[in-house]
Structure formats: C-alpha cells, structure tokens
A and B are shown apart, each in its own frame.
Chain A
Amino acid sequence: MRIGIGVLLLICMSVSPVWAEPEEIEKKGCRDCHRFSSEEKQPARGPDLFYAGDKFHENWLKEFLQSPKVIRKVGYITDPGFPSGNPEVSQPHSTLTHEESARVSTFLMTLHLPDYETGKVDDVPLSKGARAQAKMLFERNFGCIACHEALNLVGKVRGGVSGPTLVDSGLRLKPDWVFHWLKSPEKFLPRGRMPVFNLDDETAIRITKYVLSIRTKK
C-alpha cells in the first residue's frame, strides 16, 4: 500500500500538469513583453496573454511560435516607436522549436478570463449578400479599414497598419473573442487605440463573421 502511494506521488511529481507554466516562458523572456496574469504590473510591450485561451486557436499558436509572421506592422500600441512606424521591439516574434511551441501553446490555451461567455457567435457563415453588407459596415460605416488590413474584391491586401492585420484572422482568432472585443474592448484592455463603437449584438456578430472570413486563397 505504502509502495503504491509512493509510486503515485513520484508519477505526479515527474509529470507536469498542462496548466503548469513551461520553462520556455522564463527562458525565452516572454514576460519582457507579455503579461500572463492580469495581476502582473509590468507594462505590456506586446499583447496580453492572460486570456490567450479565449482569444487564439491552438493550431495557429503552434504554427506562429515556430514560424512567426508580422501581425502588427508598426508594433504594439505601447511601443514608443508606434506613432512614427518604427517600433523598438524587433519583429517578427522570436522562434520556438516544435516541442517548445507545443508546450507553450498547450499552456496558453489554459489561460482564460473569469466569467467569459462563449457561444455568442454560431458557425453559420454569412450569405454572399450578408457578407457584402458586412463588408460595407467594416469599411464604410465603422471605418475599420483605416487601421486594419483586409482584402479587396480581387483579393489584394488593402487597409491601414496601426491595428493588427485581419487577413487570415479566422485562422488566428476565436469568434467569441472577436465578438466580445468589439462589444467591450475594455474587458481586455483598459486603453486601446481603437474607437469604442457600442455595437448591438447583431451588428457585432455580423462584423465578427466578416472579419473572420477575410482569407487569402491557398
């Protein structure tokens, strides 16, 4: 009996649970830019990750950490070089190995906001007509194109660069997160550089679905 308990304890001590922070977070200096808890007080030089499990698709995270691409062409909003377009934080993001990215991604997917509501956006894609209307909302009514890259009708990238690119954002972002971001950005970031729009649910869902449908053909 005692031997059995001892073996069990040994197994528990040798296998890290998925919610345990992998050593790469410290080794790679991730905290230099990102916050992994809302309690951390250091200024964020990159996007907060304490809700990464709500925000990102795991497969995208794994791929991004192995072969990072530039999502914010002029850097993160707090970068002193942001207004001039010359960010101080070098891009693209540092690279992790396959194993490291798997460990970090698994950990990041365990980070959630308390009382986060899911199931706000269904899987039904916009019809062709509804998509055209949502594109008008995105580009014309709310002027999102001024700060975010999207695709025009012939698939060419167009739009501003101060916000993160939204090309292929459907691979990166979860629908519920985009919805909540559009509705209440202050839940995630006390002071962003994007206007608050006070959208009703229906409009937020339409824009969410449009944004996530901006895909390059592969």
Chain B
Amino acid sequence: MILNKKTKFLKTLEFFPELSLFLALIILSGCGSENPTQQVKPPAEAVPVVPDRSAPVVNVSQVTEETRQTYQWYCTQCHGEKGHGNGVNAPHLVVPPRDHTKASYLETRSDEQLFEAIKLGGLAVGRAPCMPAWGNTFEDKTIHSLVSYIRELCDCEAL
C-alpha cells in the first residue's frame, strides 16, 4: 500500500517536472536551513509562493475550425457529437466516456492534466484505459487547441 503510494508519487513527479524542481528546491532549502551559519529571516519578510501567471506552462492554442473538425472526426466516437460523453461507443464501455460539458468535473482538472490525458492516454494519467494515447496522431499544438475546445464545451476553466 505504502509502496503503491510511493510509486504513484514518483509517477506524478515524472509527469510534472516543475513539481519535481519545486520539491527539490524545498528539500534543498530545507537542508540549507539546517546550516548553522545561515541567518534565519524574520517571518515578516517571508513572501508567499504564488504561481507566476504571466508565464503559463501550457501554450493554449486557439480553437479553430480545424480543432472542431478534429474533435468531430476522432473524439466524437466516444465523447459524442456535442461532447456529452454519449458517442456511439459509450454504451459499450465499462467506464463511461467523459462528458466534456460537465463543468463541475472539468473545473477540477488543469489544462496540463487534460493535455496529458489526450497525449498519453487514460492509463498513463491514472484514468480509464479506454482512452487511447493520441500523441502519435496529433501534434502538441492540436492537442492544446483540443484542450481549449473542451474548455469551450464545458464553459469552464481550471479552478
């Protein structure tokens, strides 16, 4: 059980190199804080860490007519023509395809998570293995635009 948790944690690090770097910095600074020669700064000077929103990790592409056609050609097979998760394969799957209009769920997913689910497939991101990896079919730019299209369908963004 503990081993599983460790493995999952390591996998998370694998997919989020920024997180690895962040944790490494924390660990390093933690080691550094044990150095008796370093002065401890007073709490008043501590600056809260906030994400730098001026430089987002994901390069979100615009939704174009090509994006909509790509979604219609490939994704509708499972997710349905309007993204309700009711494509022709849906009744035959053990795990229902994601409803891309359901904001309450998609708000809990970051754009990076959606990007990786499309590119690497469901299994690689701990989701349903029915979702295949599309990384060899679409360019990253197309996948980014599909993420944007899903945001358009759910009329939502990551919280």
Contact = CB atoms under 8 A, between A and B. Distances in A.
Given A84-B81, A162-B77, A147 B129 contact: no
B147 to A, nearest CB: 17
A160 B93 contact: yes
A143 B89 contact: no
Interface stretch (A38-46, A53-61, A134-142, A166-174): A134-142
Contact of A193 (B74, B121, B123, B131): B74
Contact of B92 (A84, A160, A191): A160
A195 interface: yes
Contact of B130 (A145, A191, A196): A145
Q: Chain B interface mostly helix, strand, loop or mixed?
A: loop
A146 B76 contact: no
Interface string A124-150: 000000000000000111111111010
A196 B132 contact: no
Interface residues of A, number: 26
Interface string B48-92: 000000000000000000000000111011100100000111001
A198 interface: yes
Given A143-B121, A195-B137, A74 B129 contact: no
B136 interface: yes
Contacts of B133: 142-143, 195, 197
B77 A195 contact: no
Contacts of B81: 83-84
B88 A195 contact: no
A197 B137 CA distance: 8
A22 interface: no
B130 A143 contact: yes
Interface of B: 72-74, 76-78, 81, 87-89, 92-93, 121-123, 129-134, 136-137
